[in-house]
Copies of this chain bind each other. A is one copy, B any other.
């Protein structure tokens, strides 16, 4: 059903919409693997269910669960959430899922990027990743969506944001990492982004804040609030491990114009007061092929990893002193949306947050 299209979205007049444009549904993958999620993934499953429930107040949610976890996921999730069997290697549909593109005639297609677990054999987080690499195609079959396949070009959905009007934002730390597309120059990578997201201008932020896991995905650092406006992580605490990245990124974004020539307006979004670290008390299995998670490892927490949905914004909360400040700042950025905080420390333990575990499908 999902045909492969041997062309590019740009050639065919399809573009990736901004996350703030109208959506049809949100996809998530049910967490399961005990070598990533503590305590048999039970705390993470509770948190994913809370995130799914929060989103489902605004729009339909489909949760993809493995054959082994299907009945359990169905039982733990509210009945208005659709549960569909789909095997995966972990639970990050932002990164292994499709990137949907639409035209102005009601057409909806998707880009199926290669996925290699954030670095493949160079510095990927687990091996193998074959099931994750089929997720985009399987979702598109499910929804009867034709796809563009970028054979040999690795990209994760969390490594870029678009404004839907010709501008894409990404990080050099991730896209130029040797674990992604070392055979391509920066210009060639930029051309791929332009062709497949249908953009004219790429804003290259230098660094992300998690060099070891996603190699610095932009979705922990900055995003588009609407065309012409971005949010950027911020701290005034010089002891914050990300003080320098915050200030460099903010200064960079303030100087940028977008594809339409607009000088960007930049909103500051606080970092949590304290980062989260593994204590060694988490029960995490050892499995061959997986980078072990060990005591003292940082679990990078950023409020930026929120998800924009129809009429709402779902924002991570960390039981941190700055939780309510973050909500207040997001509300100021999105005065017309209901801003909902969900406690998601358990997702941080696994290596990401609300944006990483969701993927929006735009309205046709």
A interface residues with partner B (beta carbon < 8 Å): 1-4, 60, 62, 67, 70-71, 74, 79-87, 131, 134, 137-138, 141-142, 144
Contacts and interface: CB of A to CB of B under 8 A. Distances in A.
Given A67-B67, A67-B131, A134-B70, A141 B86 contact: no
Contact of A67 (B79, B84, B87): B87
A265 to B, nearest CB: 39
A141 B71 CA distance: 12
A82 B138 contact: no
A297 to B, nearest CB: 31
B70 A138 contact: yes
Contacts of A83: 1, 141
Nearest to A137: B74
Max chain B C-beta neighbours (<10 A), residue from A4, A79, A141: A141
Contacts of A80: 1, 3
Nearest to A131: B67
A151 to B, nearest CB: 15
B86 A85 contact: yes
B1 A141 contact: no
A141 B74 contact: yes
B1 A71 contact: no
Contacts of A138: 70, 84-85
A281 to B, nearest CB: 34
A79 B1 contact: yes
A79 B141 contact: no
Contacts of A86: 85
B142 A79 contact: no
Contacts of A2: 79, 82
Nearest to A64: B85
A133 to B, nearest CB: 10
Contacts of A67: 67, 87, 131
A275 to B, nearest CB: 37
Nearest to A66: B67
B79 A144 contact: no
A134 B81 contact: no
B141 A84 contact: yes
Contacts of A144: 82
B87 A85 contact: yes
Contacts of A70: 87, 134, 138
Contacts of A84: 84, 138, 141-142
Given A67-B87, A82-B141, 7 more contacts: A1-B79, A1-B81, A1-B83, A2-B79, A2-B82, A71-B134, A82-B142
A82 B134 contact: no
A24 to B, nearest CB: 13
Nearest to A4: B79
- Of A71, A85, A87, which is in contact with the most chain B CB atoms at under 10 Å from its CB? A85
Residue from the set A4, A74, A80 with the largest chain B CB neighbour count within 10 Å: A74
A85 B82 contact: no
A1 B131 contact: no
